[in-house]
Structure 1
Amino acid sequence: MSNPVDQEQSQAEPKRRKSLPIWVIALVAALVLAGVGFGAYQVFFADDTAAPGECASVSGTDDAAKLTIVDCAEKSATFKVALKKDKAETSCPEGAYRELRDEKNLICLMPNFVAGTCYESDEANQAFKVGSCESPEAIKITKVINGTTDPSGCPNSNGLGYPEPKTVFCIETPGVS
């Protein structure tokens, strides 16, 4: 049987809450600060523009052109990012690159041509879009040769070369007799 005095003392004394150890508080504070720092970096310093090798679609023209990264297998993936340079650079390498500028970068785009596919001009976006091989304006990509700018590997040496990355697109015009 318990002592009534002990019961009164235990009821009168409130239970003390244990405080968190200082190391737990420090760890939580460090994680919060790291999260805030990472968020600030992403907003102010991260370069979220396209990276070389990524595929893209472009909408709009001239200074209003907008680059959107898309999966390379999508029909809308008419361009591939060839190079990304500092905005201070004057131009892309010699070749038929489409140049876009943003606040930080000069982005050099090349066609995302696929061998065996026909394309038609998309004047509004200074690009080619997948089209019918029956069209008189169509071009057909017969072969893509990576690692060179020499079109001699194409039938009749009919190729379009890009120096960076070194790529040749072998072209024929199926709609022209």
Structure 2
Amino acid sequence: MNFPGARLLARVVFALVAVAAVVVAMVGCSSSESSGNTADSAKVGGCLDGIKGATVDVQAGSVDCSSDKAVYKIAQTADKKGACSTDYTEAGVAGGSAFLCLVPNFKQGSCYSENPASGFKPVACGAAEATFRVVKRVDGEADELLCGQDADSFRLIAAAPKATYCLAKPKA
């Protein structure tokens, strides 16, 4: 037996359920993005302990800038790839569409390994993977002439924040 209007009622109920499902899905996606690793959670001037390939896990990687583990400092954030100065290491934020413009935060007297896939990592100066030692760090200036004879190479950051890193072979 068919009741008049039963099909209309079923359609209305189905439409309401579908709209509710779409709203729940949209709210769930936006809240997971905002609580995830976005450039909003990365503050310019903050430091990170490293990168993995071309991405950064901001939540997991944030460290105090005075820490020996703080290898990168956030100089800028960007909305698109390629917006960073050539002095910066550009890394996408894991789980988002933002990009961080990073500068080294090397400590004077410390040694680091450099890997094209994973960036810089602090290591013991006697370690086999050590590729350089920072013999002098000068903040606020980008000038290789500030390096003395004990340095055999240098790394300059001419964009803000300016810095000069005088480098040498790690001690065995």
Q: Bin the TM-score by the shorter chain.
A: 0.5 to 0.7
Q: Tell me if structure 1 keeps the 8 A contact 2:124–2:130.
A: no
- Identity among equivalent positions (%) equals 24
Match of 2:162 in 1: 166
Match of 2:136 in 1: 143
Of 57, 61, 73, which aligns to 1:66? 57
- Letter aligned with residue 160 of structure 1: R
Match of 1:30 in 2: none
Alpha-carbon distance in structure 2 between the residues aligned to 1:134 and 1:59? 20
- Letter aligned with residue 108 of structure 1: C
- Letter aligned with residue 163 of structure 2: T
Alpha-carbon distance in structure 1 between the residues aligned to 2:166 and 2:48? 21
Alpha-carbon distance in structure 2 between the residues aligned to 1:59 and 1:104? 16
| Distance 1:136-1:175 versus aligned 2 partners, 3 A rule | farther
Considering Cα pairs closer than 8 Å and 6+ residues apart, tell me whether 1 or 2 has the greater RCO.
Answer: 2
Of 112, 118, 122, which aligns to 2:105? 112
Alpha-carbon distance in structure 2 between the residues aligned to 1:99 and 1:81? 10
Match of 1:50 in 2: 42
Match of 2:89 in 1: 98
The DSSP-based 3-state class of the residue aligned with 2:41 is coil
How many Å apart are 1:47 and its aligned residue? 5.8
| Distance 1:129-1:94 versus aligned 2 partners, 3 A rule | same
Alpha-carbon distance in structure 2 between the residues aligned to 1:51 and 1:151? 29
Q: Which has the larger radius of gyration?
A: 1
- Letter aligned with residue 161 of structure 2: P
How many Å apart are 1:135 and its aligned residue? 4.1
Alpha-carbon distance in structure 1 between the residues aligned to 2:70 and 2:89? 14
Match of 1:17 in 2: none
How many Å apart are 1:94 and its aligned residue? 2.1
Q: Which runs of 5+ in 2 are unaligned?
A: 1-30
Per the normalisation by structure 1, the TM-score is 0.60
| Distance 1:88-1:62 versus aligned 2 partners, 3 A rule | closer
